[in-house]
Chains A and B, each alone.
Chain A
Amino acid sequence: MFDQKLIEECRKGNLQNFRKLVGIASQYAFSVAFRMLGDEDLTKDIVQESMVTVWQKLENIGSSESFKSWLYKIVINKCYDHLRKRKRRHEFRADEQTWAIISNHTSSDQFSELELKETAQIISFLTRNLSPKQKAVFVLGDLEEMTAEEISSITGMSTGNIKANLHYARKKMNKMMGKYI
């Protein structure tokens, strides 16, 4: 996934190679950050900030094998910071458009890929009542398909805590589904 030689070159301060690394890593960073924040422009800013942090702290990374979880750690922390700032919570009103998207995709047997805007709307609806930690565990575990151990190395939470958070997150999302749809 991430070329170890490329990472080693970047650690030596090779900016040209870092540009290549940004090209690869920014896709992963974008996927997680977008699922956490649901705003394309904001996600792009977070990705940029994260990549600058990666460059500044690249020499502190223990081994190049752990680069992926280290990258996710930086991105998730930046998303946490942003979610903490954006504390205001409004009572969610599932508008007809979101309802239509969800029912359209869940009723038909055929899989059709969601657009970015649709993804943002659905995640925003589902995770409305989740804490930032529960949201991170849901995004990393259920959507990015990471193991509890991987999530633990990114968030610093214990595996037991991760499983509990994921359980409560699903419970809350089920409740949302039943309440509005």
Chain B
Amino acid sequence: MMMTEDNKLDRLINILRESKPLLDNPEDIEEKVIERILQTDKKEEKSSDIFDYLFSWVYVSWVRKSLIAASVLIVIIFGYQQSMILKRMNDLAARTIFKESLMTTGIMGNIDDKLLLYKLTDRKPDDKQVTISERQMKRLINSINELQLKYNELIKLIEENPDLKKFVDEKMTKNNMKKLKL
């Protein structure tokens, strides 16, 4: 009797099902798997050693992992901040050197730049000539006037209050004595 395709397929599937593929040498696989695991463990050991040393006091796995992740993050942020600070310092130093070179070559005579350089380096400019604009001069005079007014007000305030006057006098005397000692 001729078999239909359905029957043929069913029979073939049945034969395939019964003929289960078997591993001829499972010991060989066992050996290779263990070998590969040990090799991978060795690689991981080196990097995990330092974390184990630092976080060996934490017994809960997820807490330990979170701490490791947090510490790595903090180190990265710290490194980033340090690099940013260094970059800014380098920029500032470069700007100071640039301005100083401009001044020494006589290209820059602006009073603001000279004052900035004086603030940064604590060094007075060598040149005797200072270029100042009319606007800057007005600003300077205004500022001196304001300072004068505030000084007068302060003196008045001290004169009116005997306790304060006494306290200020004492402080001034102390300061003068210190200066004399030096």
Contacts and interface: CB of A to CB of B under 8 A. Distances in A.
Interface of A: 15, 18-19, 22-23, 26-27, 30-31, 34-35, 43-44, 47-48, 51-52, 55-56, 102, 105-106, 111, 113-114, 116, 118-119, 122-123, 126, 142-143, 145, 170, 173-174, 177-178, 181
Nearest to A16: B34
Contacts of B27: 23
A105 B14 CA distance: 11
Interface in B1-16: 3, 5-6, 8-9, 11-13, 15-16
15 contacts: A19-B33, A22-B26, A22-B34, A23-B26, A31-B22, A47-B23, A48-B29, A52-B40, A55-B37, A116-B21, A123-B16, A145-B17, A174-B6, A174-B9, A177-B12
A181 B29 contact: no
Interface string B82-112: 0000000000000000000000000000000
A15 B37 contact: yes
A122 B29 contact: no
Bin the interface of chain B by size.
20 to 34
B30 interface: yes
A57 to B, nearest CB: 12
Contacts, number: 93
B36 interface: yes
Interface string B37-70: 1001000000000000000000000000000000
B62 to A, nearest CB: 11
A39 to B, nearest CB: 11
B5 A142 contact: no
A51 B18 CA distance: 25
Closest 7 CB pairs of A and B: A114-B19, A34-B21, A30-B23, A51-B33, A113-B19, A177-B5, A22-B30
Given A27-B23, A173-B9, A177-B9, A114 B15 contact: yes
A83 to B, nearest CB: 17
B9 A170 contact: yes
A15 B33 CA distance: 11
Contacts of B119: none
Contacts of A44: 23, 29
Given A22-B30, A52-B36, A55-B37, A106 B21 contact: no
Contact of A19 (B5, B11, B30, B36): B30
B9 A22 contact: no
Contact of A26 (B6, B16, B26, B36): B26
A109 to B, nearest CB: 10
Which one of B16, B33, B37, B40 has the greatest number of beta carbons of chain A within 10 Å?
Answer: B33
B22 A27 contact: yes
A51 B35 CA distance: 12
Most buried by B among A22, A35, A181: A22
Nearest to B12: A106
